[in-house]
Amino acid sequence: MSSITAGSHEHHDAHAAHGQGGVGHFLGTYVFSRDHKIIGIQFLFSTLIWFLIGGLLALGIRWQLAWPWQDMPVIGRMLFAGEGGQISPEFYTILFTMHATIMIFFVIIPILAGAFGNYLIPLMIGADDMAFPTLNMLSYWFMWPAFLAIGASFFVEGGAAKAGWTSYPPLSLTDLNGQTLWLIGLTFVGVSSMMGSVNYMTTIIQMRAPGMTMFRLPMTIWAMFITAILQAFALPVLTAAGFMQLMDRTIGTGFFIPEGWSANNAPLASGGGQPLLWQHLFWFYSHPAVYIMILPAMGMVSDIIACFSRKPLFGYKPMVYSIAGIAGLGFIVWGHHMFVSGMNPALGMTFMVSTMMIALPSAIKTFNWLGTVWGGQIQFTTPMLYALSFVAMFIIGGLSGIFMAATPVDIFIHDTYFIVAHFHYVLFAGTAMGVFGAIYFWYPKMFGRMMNETAGKIHFFFTFLFLNGTFFTMHILGAGGFPRRLADPYHYQTFAHLQPLNVFMTWCAIGMVAVQVIFALNFFLSMFFGPKAGRNPWHANGLEWAAPSPPGHGNFDFQPVIYRGPYEYNSPEVDTDYYPQNEPPPEPKSESGEETEPPPQPPAE
Amino acid sequence: MGKFWSLIFLLVPILGVACFALAPVYNHWLPSDVSQHGHTIDHLFYFILWLTGAVFIATEVVLFWFLWRYDGKRKGHVNYTHGSHSLEIIWTILPAATLLFIAIYQMNAWAESKIRNPAAGPDGILGTADDMPPTLEVTGRQFEWRLRYPGKNGQLGDSDDIYIVNDLHLPVNEEILIYLKSDDVLHSFFLPNLRVKQDAVPGMKIPVWFRATEKGTYDIVCAELCGWGHYKMKGQLTIESRAEYDEWLDKKYREQTATVGPQLASQGDGE
């Protein structure tokens, strides 16, 4: 963080109003900062910590599936003293519920929009900050009540939420206080996301630098923009549904409770509601949310691949349109989560067709990434390896989705490990690998120093190997009908023989978590010992690379003017293999012979 | 190092295919299918598997080849291009047509499994006619399957019904119609060997139908999270001949009437 201070001080005079020195200055600069870069880094640190917690919860699930009911060594004694070190079936439901909740709401969504959206949007469009800096600060601090609620829920009576991350009623209504805290936490995450969305949309529409037309925006910004729109339209539905469930739980309404319903020998509820209503409302948000969880990664990966292929992005406009297509179709496919839910089966056919069609823009994007690599001069840097693995893995995640979209096949594989394999290929092997690539790529900009390449490649190699060992085999379990969310599937004759494969997967998962130590060390040590990065270490074209590393408060030490799109690598117009967006074109011979005023330039390094 | 990393990416299709090729050899594969419609579902599964498998191998190998061929160590001409309109059209229309075909190809099997209710009239509209009485009613409850067979009078929903927990018996080669209900939370009635899965929803009565083709005992699995004991919600399905089934049901009937008292028992015998 010391390097940021240095960057900020360069511009201290221009932004003296920002802090008055002393404790107030420190709090204003690093804690309650309204600077989009600090907020982005705050999001990054918070989400990486939750990433670790979510990963450890996953190891608990894997332990139980490999060696059911066996005492967990060391950790088990500390966590489950009451059970003698064993994971109880009740705690197992907490494990998978909270693993998913944390990974989705505290890691993937905030790391994409909160960390990278915040950090990159103003820098890439040439703005000095977000349109609403205070709102931006609040969007981070509204995550904290959620962190506290979810964190505290582990310690209340009955433990954290146990109804799955989808929280289907009526089960979620029978839960103890953990579920109430879960709903409160999610509401705060929703408010935070909404504040972010409004800000991103306004900033991208209003605050682009001169010359930055919409079709000169990098794919990262297009993806963030469309994601923000998705969030803004889908989130209110989840928030409303969350409040309805909260009221069902606390003040006796019956939105999701059928008439004359009772569970656990409780008195009859007033009822009159419908359990399926929740599923419709929940998936109306959560299916678009699946795209909220991948589109920004797609955008960032597109930028990284073009940069290290030293070639323009293949099919820029089709790439933009396919993101828009995914977003549009994303609103009419929610029913594919409900094929066997009891929803009218005729409706299932409609959702099958729309779901099949949403695979199309994903296919177009994949072909265009391949087209970008084709005929390039590929530099196998760590960010490039992650970006390429995003493509290789997204192909698997995309194709396996077709199995679930096909309604008759879904009858068999619904809620088996096939779907678990599918969404881990999209969200871990896809988004998380893309996020790793983005961290390695933009780290020099964020902290002014390079991460270690060798350590990065070792981290990549083992993560890539272990993730496939863990998740690819899940397809095989799924084909065997192996259901998800069972604490002990092996007492069914159909699944008993699948345990050895689960042991293999668990060892891979342990390896995968272990190699993240390399990443953590690289991340923190490079902050102090990495070589100085300079403004543009990758010779990339994006506007963010014209700013100092790290950029000071206000971002640019010159007025950026944009002359071209972000993908002019190996352009025939210049001799270098890159052609930054803000570099003025070679001076044409002016007819009148007058010297025109040279546009502002970043100072030479 | 470019060649090394290219080969790492080549491992994806090689190991991926090996995984799917070896799984059936070690019996880590679709459980045996003993239903009539399951054959169609399996066929559709294989159809999509072959199709996506081909696309998977093709795209992953192309990715490998580009990485191998265009390694930056090789100094040479860079293909400076912003895209190709005709390529975009080709790779939009081809997948679109394929995907649409897959969707249409599935529809009949879906209709057979979930829409063409045997109890519905010829117009196919659910629940308008009672051409076929239900074989039994299955009710999910934390954490057991409650089965309610019609007694001697053949009518469900009267004092003559036979109650059984978790032990489902059904005759082979006959059309079975089950009404699925739930007493408390969501459950899902999953018969892996019959390719049947249907959520049980409180407040709803959902028809499930199928035809078993082989005798034997199979698992009934709950496939929708229903609480801490979700994994324990295990039932057993026995498919047997009509004679064995009748005999079993009769035995259950006698067991039950022996304990409910003479009045109800005589009511049943009177039919």
**pLDDT digit string (tens) for A554-575?**
999 999 999 999 999 999 999 8
Mean of pLDDT values over B159-186? 94
Q: How far is B163 from chain A (nearest CA, A)?
A: 20
Q: Which of B10, B104, B114, B141 has the most A C-beta neighbours within 10 Å, making it the best mutation to test the interface with A?
A: B114
* Type of residue numbered A542: G
Residues 153-182 of A with CB under 8 A from B: 162-164, 168, 170-171, 174
- Asked if A108 reaches chain B (Cβ–Cβ under 8 Å), the answer is no
SS3 percent helix, strand, coil of chain B, rounded to 5, is: 45, 25, 35
Listed by number, the residues of chain A in 2-61 with a beta carbon closer than 8 Å to a beta carbon of chain B are none
Is residue A605 domain-resident? Answer: no
Nearest CA in chain B to A88: B228
Domain with A143 in it: what CATH number?
1.20.210.10
Contacts of A276 in chain B (CB under 8 A): 201, 204
Range(s) of the domain holding residue A290: 28-252+272-546
pLDDT at A96 over 80: yes
Give the mean pLDDT of chain B.
90
**pLDDT band of B268, cuts 50, 70, 90:** very low
pLDDT of residue B259: 65
Which two three-digit tokens encode residue A346?
Answer: 């005729």
A347 part of contact set with chain B, CB < 8 Å: no
pLDDT at A310 over 80: yes
DSSP characters over A522-549 = HHHHHHHHSPB--S-TT---SGGGGS-S
Q: Which of B104, B186, B233, B238 to mutate to test the interface with A (most CBs of A within 10 A)?
A: B186
* Residues pairing with B35 in the sheet: B212
Q: Which among B28, B80, B229 has CB closest to A572?
A: B80
Residue numbers in B near A263 (CB within 8 A): 142, 183-185
The answer to whether domain B136-269 has CATH 2.60.40.420 is yes
CB-based contact B197 A357, cutoff 8 Å: no
Least confident of A17-21, A69-73, A148-152, A351-355: A17-21
Whether the pLDDT of residue A422 is over 80: the answer is yes
The pLDDT value given to residue A374: 94
Provide the pLDDT for residue A2.
Answer: 38
Q: In which element (H, E) is residue B178 found?
A: strand B175-182
> Between residues 403 and 442 of chain A, which touch chain B (CB distance below 8 Å)?
403, 405-409, 411-416
**What pLDDT, on a 0 to 100 scale, did the predictor assign at position A13?**
40
Whether A360 sits inside 8 A of B66 (CB atoms) is no
For residue A82, name the pLDDT band (cuts at 50, 70, 90): low
Residues A103 and A48: their CA atoms lie apart, in Å, by: 10
Average pLDDT, chain A: 90
From chain B, the residues in CB contact with A89 under 8 A are 228-232
* pLDDT exceeds cutoff 80 at B122: no
Mean pLDDT, residues A214-236: 96
Cβ-Cβ contacts under 8 Å, B23 against chain A: 476, 479
CA distance to partner chain A, nearest, from residue B260 (Å): 24
Of the pLDDT bands very low, low, confident and very high (cuts 50, 70, 90), residue A85 is confident
A90 chain-B contacts, CB cut-off 8 A? 228
Tell me the chain B residues in contact with residue A489 when contact means C-beta distances shorter than 8 Å. Answer: 231
Chosen for mutation from A174, A380, A454 (greatest number of chain B CBs closer than 10 Å) is: A380
The H or E element that residue B139 is part of is: strand B136-141
Please list every residue in chain B whose beta carbon sits closer than 8 Å to the beta carbon of residue A409.
41, 44-45, 48, 106
Q: Cβ of A406 and B15 within 8 Å?
A: no
- Is the predicted pLDDT of residue A25 greater than 60, yes or no? yes
Give the angle A583-A589-A592 at the CA atoms, nearest 5°.
125
Q: Is residue A176 predicted with pLDDT exceeding 50? A: yes
Q: Do you find a cis peptide bond into B143, omega within 30 degrees of 0?
A: yes
A396 close contact with B: CB closer than 8 A: yes
What pLDDT does residue B156 have?
87
Q: What share of chain A is helix, strand, coil (3-state, %, to 5)?
A: 65, 0, 35
Give me the pLDDT at residue B270, please.
40
Nearest to B59 among A375, A376, A395 (CB): A395
What is the rounded distance in angstroms from the CA atom of residue A323 to the CA atom of residue A223? 7
pLDDT given at position A18: 45
Residue of A275, A363, A415 with shortest CB distance to B201: A275
What pLDDT band is residue A357 in, cutting at 50, 70 and 90?
very high
C-alpha distances (whole Å) from B127 to each of A128, A479, B107, B115, B121 are: 64, 33, 21, 11, 8
Q: What is the pLDDT of residue A263?
A: 72
Is the ipTM higher than 0.90? The answer is yes
Q: Inter-chain contact A415–B188, Cβ cutoff 8 Å?
A: yes
Contact A574, A140 (CB under 8 A): no
Q: In this structure, is residue A331 part of a structural domain?
A: yes
Strand partners, B222: B189
Chain A residues touching B19 at Cβ < 8 A: 472-473, 475-476
Burial of residue B61 (CB within 10 Å: 0-12, 13-18, 19+) is: middle
Predicted pLDDT at A589: 56
User: What distance in Å separates residue A49's CA from the closest CA in chain B?
Assistant: 28
- Which residue from B minimizes the CA distance to A485? B225
**Rounded (5°) CA angle A563-A567-A572:** 80
pLDDT at B263: 53
Task: Give B204's contacts in chain A (Cβ within 8 Å).
Answer: 258, 276, 342
pLDDT (0 to 100) of residue A510: 96
B70–chain A nearest CA distance, Å? 6
Asked if A498 lies within 8 A of B45 by C-beta distance, the reply is no
Q: What is the pLDDT of residue A5?
A: 39
How many angstroms separate the CA atoms of A36 and A42, rounded?
Answer: 10
Contact B197 A414 (CB under 8 A): yes
Do β-strands B162-165 and B216-222 pair in parallel, antiparallel, or remain unpaired?
A: unpaired
Among the partner-chain residues A377, A468, A498, the one whose CB lies closest to the CB of B72 is: A377
CB contact under 8 A, B52 and A171: no
Parse chain B into domains and list their residue ranges: 2-71+89-115, 136-269
Please give the residue that has the higher pLDDT: either B270 or A55: A55
Q: Is the pLDDT of residue A598 over 60?
A: no
**What gap in Å lies between CA A38 and CA A28, rounded to an integer?**
10
Residue A251: predicted pLDDT: 87
pLDDT given for residue A79 in this prediction? 67
Count of structural domains, chain A: 1
Task: State which amino acid sits at residue A229.
Answer: I
Confidence of residue A4 (pLDDT cuts 50, 70, 90): very low
Better-predicted residue by pLDDT, A592 or B38? B38
A5 occurs within a structural domain = no
Tell me the pTM: 0.92
Has residue A461 been placed in a domain? yes
